[in-house]
Structure 1
């Protein structure tokens, strides 16, 4: 509990943790402004980092910013703060996504604070997972994590998983035939070997993972047909564990909530010693998005497809320096 606004160094640390969140093509489409006299930290969308062809409605952008907001809340709770959050506080300013009042009174959220060690450990893993069951108790914890943020987490049955894999392949084919989508993928991915100046955003070749041999796990192939030096082939899990994250409605505030739910689920996955990757490929095409949901479930709008299981951790993705993200007034 605090009555005084946190100092700039403390807020800088919060933003550094927030910025480790996942985002579409690791574009990191967020910016922060700290009003230090009143202890308010504002989260803005950086539309210059949008992907207009891949993500024309900015749904994915909002999901990424929501994930960053969840990390911020976790880091604040671990620092003993009890922030108050307002989503979309100004209809006249759509790029202002949230206001976080850091001087809130009351005890910090202990459930969020316990997730703090996972913030820096969470990485997307596009490597093969083992064909091992995920304990039912863990799946229930993940459901509860999504529910705590106003979203739903659904684990589809075997027939639905096969349908999802077909939809992923369909979306990959659509992407391969669309030069504008391919161009955005090439803009935000690096196929050159590591060395020299390292970009602070995008997806590096070492994070692509190997090509799939004889299996069809829902892992986005960022190479998009381009050669990647040193990239090999591997057999992935035959029966991937898939979760669908969704919401009742499908507007910007729902996307922000879904992004927070996504990151809360991923932090729990990390805490449980599991790994995960996400894909939105079949959700990026209106022709396939409607088919992703299970008509027998109550989930109205699927926001993300999550692959989880037992396997090696993925490499850390590059991050922009906080000095580029945070403005202090």
Structure 2
């Protein structure tokens, strides 16, 4: 007699809980350009084109990175909270990723540790302490990127740091000279801390100061007379992938989130600088500076800093496709 078994699948409540983890991923200007669909036998991560930044992200690369970061959180939530890990394949069009259940297994200790950090990780838009990053951290962070098919190259030496800092500053100035860019930035810089999207006053950080080593994006924070960032030799790295197309942007987003959660697990705060990759000329110069074949996707800074204000997220019901 043949015994039929029902294929494993994620129950609706497990899907909803995992989406709750997914939406805590970072996104450019906290635009949250993602939606999620339960298909019965699997899940889909969708790009919400209505929330793509037309000026800052005309080709949707950063929106797809954001969806990839959300997908990484989704995978952790399914493995840890639901006890049913996911296999996945890259999608096409607005469907950036499809997931289906893998054989049940207990979550690994590292999956549990990274899952624990999902709600605790946040972008630091404030100052860093003048304290060197632990010597083991760069290797751990580089391995985290490799585990998801990415690469993370740390900027070594004062001269190399100057080059990267100049590229970020040059790109930021180019972007701020574009009225359409500044209008879009202001549209996502909210005046209310309770807003469920964009960057509110508490999360904006202080206004950028010319003396800061790395130029931060100006989200309208209060000004200060002197830079409060005391770190003279920040730990800076460039993240990229093994290609430059839309699919690779999703993979890099998963690598990015793995790196960010690993950093949080190591007790590190992280800041992100995407200006240099938003301008084609500076992006190419950054690629040459790190000596990579494929273009870099984002610049990251790691260090020690107190917890600052978190950005808010839209209700889960708003990001689930019926």
Cα distance in structure 2, aligned partners of 1:280 and 1:72 = 24
CA drift at 1:57: 1.1
Instruction: Establish whether residue 18 from structure 1 lines up as the match of residue 31 from structure 2.
Output: no
Aligned to 1:235: 228
Alignment of 1:1-329 (within 5 A): 3-36=7-40, 38=41, 40-79=42-81, 80-88=83-91, 91=92, 94-101=93-100, 103-108=101-106, 110=108, 111-157=110-156, 158-190=158-190, 192=191, 194=193, 198-213=194-209, 214-223=211-220, 228=221, 231-233=223-225, 234-236=227-229, 237-295=231-289, 297-298=291-292, 300-328=294-322
Cα distance in structure 1, aligned partners of 2:238 and 2:106 = 30
Cα distance in structure 1, aligned partners of 2:48 and 2:192 = 29
CA contact (8 A) 2:19 2:316 kept: yes
CA contact (8 A) 1:247 1:299 kept: no
Deviates more, 1:269-278 or 1:232-241: 232-241
Instruction: Using structure 1 for the length normalisation, give the TM-score.
Output: 0.90
CA drift at 1:107: 2.4
CA drift at 1:150: 0.5
Which sections of structure 1, spanning at least 5 residues, go unmatched? none
Which sections of structure 2, spanning at least 5 residues, go unmatched? 1-5
User: 1:90-130: CA deviations, max 9, x gaps?
Assistant: x4xx00111111x3214255233331110000000111101
CA drift at 1:30: 0.2
User: 1:235-271: CA deviations, max 9, x gaps?
Assistant: 2122221110012210011101100000000001111
Instruction: Using structure 2 for the length normalisation, give the TM-score.
Output: 0.91
CA contact (8 A) 2:234 2:301 kept: yes
Aligned to 2:3: none
Aligned length: 311
4+ aligned runs moved over 4 Å, structure 1: none
